[in-house]
């Protein structure tokens, strides 16, 4: 097993001339004037194996890592070792197909309140929904498990729970919710995916809530009678990548299409992202989902992928381990089994370059660690925790 010891990628200090020609500069000043290291490529280094379909990861203030496993377990990694005993206190979840114990996020004031937020599937095969709960971490046990949000439409089957969580700078929480599933699944007499255009339904939306689960006073549809006050954006199929750029406060998302048409979106409050009215997706049974790919009043994707990469996990890089990749997006791919590095034009926000970092297993989650490295979780019965290290 590989330890969590950091790998140095600092460039060596430039050499001074002969003593007779130039007096050497003080070592501290020389180090400060060294150019940042250039990382041409990275190598995936496996740190932990034996995780069962891991879904998300966070770091505790003491450096430990918490990882959710979809069947319903919360695991701790400490000093490079996976604790064989799961953290106690996770209630039963619906571990069905895409459902289970999914995302987790520390409360912004975790160091004082110890609260962790979880998104998960609840119910049974016939009637289920996405929920968000919070609990307090006490040693190796969760206490005070409290449900603070429940999707307002039940569905059947094990598809499209969404479930990514993201704290905004104002300490409100975004929750990404899937559209409920593929045809022929129906709700209220029509295909359930049409709920993504129903502003009274939360299926196919991103909701914004307080840490207590309420609607913030500045949510975009708070005062509109035909819309749910929790909705922040809508018209989504199944977002499983959600990330904040800490320098610009821009929110980015990746969402699954149907047989292609996976999307990268720049999310803004109050906007309609089109699904299923406008899309590049194809029906699994054949033929286009829609004859329209764009329409006034609906936001076009920044880019899309056909054939599908099945995106899951997203990070905006703002560290010093790969300094030339500042502001680049890193999107995991389940089908493509890689991480896409996406370079954006800083003025227009359009994609100018995309490269692949092969992983070799389905990539479920991508996160920047407190040490500045990128970490990856793979979705497999023998899932792995991987660190992307500068190639030697």
Residues assigned a catalytic role: 160
**Who's near 4: CB < 8 A, 6+ residues apart?**
47, 63, 77, 79, 80
CB atoms within 10 A of CB 262: 29
CB 272 within 8 A of CB 235: yes
Round to whole Å and give the CA distance between 61 and 80: 15
CB 385 within 8 A of CB 377: yes
Question: Phi/psi at 112 (nearest 5 deg)?
Answer: -105, -30
CB 87 within 8 A of CB 116: no
CB 47 within 8 A of CB 385: yes
Long-range CB contacts for residues 346-350, cutoff 8 Å, separation at least 24: 349/266, 349/302, 350/302
Round to whole Å and give the CA distance between 65 and 129: 28
Q: Which two tokens stand for residue 74?
A: 């919360």
Round to whole Å and give the CA distance between 16 and 18: 7
Nearest alpha carbon to residue 244 among 235, 253, 236: 253
Residue with tokens 């549809």: 221
**Who's near 15: CB < 8 A, 6+ residues apart?**
none
User: What is the torsional sign of CA 220, 350, 389, 1?
Assistant: positive
* ∠ CA 316-322-325, rounded to 5°: 50
Q: Which two tokens stand for residue 70?
A: 């979809």
Residue with tokens 């709920």: 195
Q: Which two tokens stand for residue 240?
A: 């499983």
Round to whole Å and give the CA distance between 359 and 376: 9
Round to whole Å and give the CA distance between 273 and 120: 24
């Amino acid at each position: 097993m590989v330890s969590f010891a950091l790998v140095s990628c600092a460039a060596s200090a430039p050499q001074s001339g002969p003593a007779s020609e130039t007096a050497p500069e003080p070592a501290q000043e020389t180090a400060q004037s060294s150019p940042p290291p250039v990382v041409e490529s990275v190598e995936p280094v496996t740190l932990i194996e034996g995780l069962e379909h891991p879904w998300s990861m966070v770091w505790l203030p003491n450096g430990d890592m918490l990882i959710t496993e979809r069947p319903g377990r919360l695991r701790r990694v400490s000093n490079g070792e996976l604790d064989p005993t799961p953290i106690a206190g996770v209630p039963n979840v619906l571990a069905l197909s895409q459902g289970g114990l999914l995302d987790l996020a520390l409360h912004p004031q975790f160091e004082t309140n110890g609260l962790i937020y979880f998104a998960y599937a609840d119910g049974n095969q016939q009637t289920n929904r996405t929920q968000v709960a919070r609990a307090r971490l006490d040693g190796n046990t969760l206490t005070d498990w409290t449900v603070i949000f429940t999707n307002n439409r039940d569905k059947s089957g094990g598809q499209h729970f969404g479930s990514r969580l993201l704290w905004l700078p104002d300490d409100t929480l975004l929750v990404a919710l899937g559209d409920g599933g593929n045809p022929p699944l129906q709700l209220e007499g029509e295909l359930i995916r049409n709920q993504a255009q129903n502003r009274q339904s939360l299926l196919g939306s991103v909701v914004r809530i307080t840490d207590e689960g309420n609607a913030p006073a500045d949510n975009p549809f708070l005062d509109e009678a035909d819309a749910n006050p929790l909705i922040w954006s809508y018209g989504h199929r199944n977002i499983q990548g959600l990330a904040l750029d800490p320098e610009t406060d821009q929110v980015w998302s990746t969402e699954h299409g149907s047989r292609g048409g996976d999307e990268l979106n720049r999310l803004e409050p109050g906007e309609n992202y089109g699904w299923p009215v406008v899309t590049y997706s194809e029906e699994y049974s054949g033929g286009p989902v829609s004859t329209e790919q764009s329409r006034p009043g609906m936001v076009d994707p920044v880019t899309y992928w056909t054939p599908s990469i099945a995106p899951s996990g997203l990070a905006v890089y703002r560290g010093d381990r790969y300094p030339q990749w500042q502001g680049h997006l890193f999107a995991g791919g389940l089908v493509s089994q890689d991480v896409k590095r996406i370079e954006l034009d800083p003025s227009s926000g359009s994609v100018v370059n995309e490269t692949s970092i092969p992983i070799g297993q389905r990539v479920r989650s991508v996160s920047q660690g407190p040490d500045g490295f990128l970490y990856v979780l793979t979705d497999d019965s023998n899932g792995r925790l991987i660190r992307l290290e500068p190639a030697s």
